[in-house]
Amino acid sequence: MTNETKTKNLTILGDHEPRTIEQLARCAGAQEGALGVLCADGHVGYSQPIGGVVAYRDHISPSGVGYDIGCGNTAVRLDLRADDLRADLPRVMDEIVGTISFGVGRSAGTKADHPVVDAIAQAEFAPQRALVQQAAAQLGTVGAGNHYVDLFEDETGAAWIGVHFGSRGFGHKTASGFLSLIDGGAFDERGRDGEMDSPPKLLHAGSELGSAYIAAMTLAGDYARAGRQLVVEQVRRILGAQIVDTVENHHNYAWRESHGGHDYWVVRKGATPAFPGQRGFVGATMGEDAVILEGVGGEASAAALHSTVHGAGRVMSRTKAAGKVRWVPSCTMRDCGFWMTPQEAAEARQAGGTPVCPNHPERPLKKGPQKVTAGAIDYPSVKAELAARGIELRGGAADEAPAAYKRLDEVLTHHEGTVRVLHRLTPIGVAMAGPDIADPYKD
């Protein structure tokens, strides 16, 4: 049964901490007649909660769409059996992480002739054109955090590719630019983020700036989709397979939709559209099954504004899971472990010397991550468990371990009757940014 709670103009699916619901209520209360939905994977986000859906009659919310405009999932089924892949899986995963760039700020720089780059160079909103070089360099790269490139096996034994990421630096600077404009600044200035519980920043959709945002958001969404398609194509070539089916969705975006006889701008932050017959790919964690869903319609689906989860939903903060990390001058020799505080490095320079590692004085010190406090999750144990189950893991970190998330099956019970599961996808290969990929010490 769907666990649904109706409160005035809000529909709450699942159980949530009060702060998450308060964020949704604040966003939906910013315009009379707005509607709000909180999906079962919801948790606190910037201004609008992750898993939150808000429908505005005549406004659009750049803060609601968020910084990773067009972030979404793409899954493709291949004409390849997973069993035929297994023997070569370690080499395949090595080639994937060696071919595709993962991590914050990473660039590939090989897609400058893509049509979406041409579209950015001629963007309707002229300030976006200045971002074309960064957009070209990062097209087809995958960010950090919970963004991934995975290989799956479905219940028939067919192999699938699944990817999750968005519009990279191009989308982030687009979002930041409009938030700055709303605050009276310039597009190339960083807007004031404010507090996590800040009220939503809205634009009238018919205003000059509102229309400009819609055009800029649409272009960032096209860029995100193009990036996912390029990554899928790279993996397909590595596997030597053909694509026989594709499922693709944004989940950080705004759409013009009709609900209950009224037209709205529906802002979904970390929520997947699920209209009757519409399919979606929803990932879980690095060690658990993902699903291909289909919207089934009905009253419960209409009350949820035909929206569903985009993942399992966090239950543990990144810092709690992985521990607190600070970036300090560190030895670049792998596994050395020597580091010094910024103050110690400054004192060495003031004394006329160069900060060096006493064990490897020939290696320069560079800023690297060092753990200050321990996290709740023992990531080496997680990796060992996944390896024992036959999952080839590349990258990742404790903050993305399964224990940091809810269970997807439990989350989906709260959306029962609004979606149905078409396929269950069991991970066999997982690639994410992390120590094994974006390694600052790697030679």
What pLDDT does residue 45 have?
A: 95
Q: How many CB atoms lie within 10 A of CB 242?
A: 10
What pLDDT does residue 3 have?
A: 57
**Whole-model pTM?**
0.89
Domains and CATH numbers, the chain: 72-316+377-432 (3.90.1860.10), 325-371 (no CATH)
What pLDDT does residue 116 have?
A: 97
164/173 Cα distance (integer angstroms): 20
What pLDDT does residue 325 have?
A: 78
Residues in the chain: 443
198/384 Cα distance (integer angstroms): 41
- Quick one: CA dihedral 32, 191, 171, 285, positive or negative? negative
Which of 164, 167, 131 lies closest to 145 in space, CA to CA?
Answer: 164
Strand partners, 50: 43
- The CA-CA-CA angle for residues 80, 84, 85, to 5°, reads 85
The pair phi, psi for residue 260, each rounded to 5°, is 60, 30
Strand partners, 392: 429
Q: Would you give the DSSP letter of residue 278?
A: -
**Which parts of the chain sit beneath pLDDT 50?**
1, 438-443
